[in-house]
Amino acid sequence: MIDVARVREDFPILGRTVHGRPLVYLDSAATSQKPRAVIDTIARFYTDDCAAVHRGLHQLTERATAEFEGARQKVRRFLGAREDREIVFVRGTTEAINLVARSFVAPSLAADDEVVVTAMEHHANLVPWQVVCAERGAALRVAPVTERGEIESDAFERLLGPRTRFVAVTHVSNVLGSVNPVGRLVERVHRHGARVLVDGAQAAPHLPVDVAALGCDFYAFSGHKLYAPFGIGVLYGKATLLDAMPPWQLGGEMVASVSFERATFRESPHRFEAGTPNVEGVIGLGAAIDYLGRLGLEAIGAHERDLLAHATRVLADVPRLRLVGAAAEKIGILSFVVDGVHAHDLGTVLDREGIAIRTGHLCAQPLVERFGVPAVGRASLALYNTHEEIDALGRALRRAVELLG
């Protein structure tokens, strides 16, 4: 187990109050808080080494470029990728998925082809495929989810066929916390000759990820959920696929040569990183990965599993509260409804107690509606949370139920 008290000292914001009460931050699935190691790294970059990367020969740009590309190596190791050029820096998971949709899937998708998603996808891993399929006359197929919040395995298998060209699946549901067996799913998809993108936005902060072992063709995650800055994300793609993909955005840095008649483009990853990148975001992401490495992913995982078990027991004792999703394998995401009380009202009352949760359809409206509710409350756990915070959530929920009737 990690030393949670010591870890909490690394996160300055956890010492603040909200409405006169100590902050209880239970919204890390929306965005994680940032450790001082990341904050200080960004401040040091701006203080000592601020310069555009990959441009110029002066010392500042050389140092900034070395840090930038060093962070790419850290991400490559973090994901278990084989080559640095398989790591593309983007703004976040959403941009990564759109890049694949536009640069890899759309150019070859034909009428009557099929793209498969699951019923638990975030809008970012659903809407791009809806639009691409509509433009190309292809069909979007949706694998159903069980009442427990797991992909129906047999139904998923039946959707795969000779017209399947691409499959997009989340590694971990942002609503249910369900951990999908993506390795097995990828193997099934590849038997049908299709390619797979895995949305790892909720998995990367909590689970060891090995893209080589998973066998996926693409993997995407966002830095801001991984204790890193906003506005930075990662697309992993197999080198052979990235090399065959046209650039999605055009401009500086991604070109090899330019004349008034034509332009040629650099190899991956630079052909997908047009313009001046989010240098401080990339360097901050590298610092976040270093921070997690010092704590140890196994120790973090053990702590978060303990939190999940405790939170499940605490919420089960709240009158009229029902948890949504009970997958056999899940991470610390607990979505819930209280009979007769709207989730937004719950969120407002909890905020007055200093407790931050998420409410609504969580950018997964079809999934929430599949469970027969318009909105849920969601408490999401991270390495800096404690049993005492979960107990405070339970007490606040019981008071809210009494207050709201």
* 46 found inside a domain: no
Compute the average pLDDT of residues 76-88. Answer: 98
Same domain, 71 and 85: yes
Q: What is the pLDDT of residue 42?
A: 98
Q: What is the pLDDT of residue 65?
A: 96
Same domain, 301 and 289: no
* 32 found inside a domain: no
Active centre residues (catalytic): 363
Residue 381 is classified by DSSP as -
Same domain, 274 and 304: no
Distance CA 177, CA 196 (A): 21
Give me the domain span that covers residue 156: 51-293
* 179 found inside a domain: yes
Compute the average pLDDT of residues 52-70. Answer: 94
Q: What is the pLDDT of residue 1?
A: 79
Same domain, 120 and 192: yes
Q: What is the pLDDT of residue 226?
A: 98
> Are the C-beta atoms of residues 42 and 49 closer than 8 Å to each other?
no
Compute the average pLDDT of residues 67-84. Answer: 98
Same domain, 150 and 89: yes
Same domain, 78 and 152: yes
Rg, the chain, Cα only: 22
- Residue 398 burial by Cβ neighbours in a 10 Å radius (0-12, 13-18, 19+): middle
Last residue of a domain, one of 276, 293, 310: 293
* 40 found inside a domain: no
pLDDT at 144 over 80: yes
> Are the C-beta atoms of residues 371 and 317 closer than 8 Å to each other?
no
Q: What is the pLDDT of residue 56?
A: 83
Q: CB under 8 Å to 209, separation ≥6 — which residues?
A: 78, 79, 80, 171, 200, 203, 219, 221
Same domain, 246 and 345: no
How many domains is the chain built from?
A: 2
Distance CA 370, CA 277 (A): 39
Q: CB under 8 Å to 182, separation ≥6 — which residues?
A: 169, 171, 198, 214, 216
Compute the average pLDDT of residues 356-370. Answer: 97
* 96 found inside a domain: yes
* 39 found inside a domain: no
Last residue of a domain, one of 242, 268, 293: 293
Compute the average pLDDT of residues 210-225. Answer: 98
Same domain, 259 and 238: yes
Strand pairing category for 195-199 and 218-222 = parallel
Q: What is the pLDDT of residues 370-392, one digit of tens each?
A: 999 999 999 999 999 999 999 99
User: Could you tell me if residue 177 is left (phi over 0), alpha (psi between -120 and 50 degrees) or otherwise beta?
Assistant: left
Same domain, 114 and 170: yes
Distance CA 175, CA 336 (A): 10
Same domain, 329 and 288: no
Same domain, 207 and 259: yes
What is the CATH number for 108? Answer: 3.40.640.10
What is the CATH number for 360? Answer: 3.90.1150.10
- Percentage, residues of the chain above pLDDT 70: 100
Nearest to 323 by CA among 204, 193, 148: 148
pLDDT at 137 over 90: yes
Size of the chain, expressed as the number of residues it contains: 405
The pTM assigned to this predicted structure is 0.97
pLDDT, the chain, mean: 97
Q: What is the pLDDT of residue 405?
A: 75
Q: What is the pLDDT of residues 116-125, one digit of tens each?
A: 999 999 999 9
Q: What is the pLDDT of residues 228-258, one digit of tens each?
A: 999 999 999 999 999 999 999 999 889 999 9
Same domain, 272 and 362: no
* 41 found inside a domain: no
User: 66 pLDDT band (50/70/90 cuts)?
Assistant: very high
Last residue of a domain, one of 293, 325, 344: 293
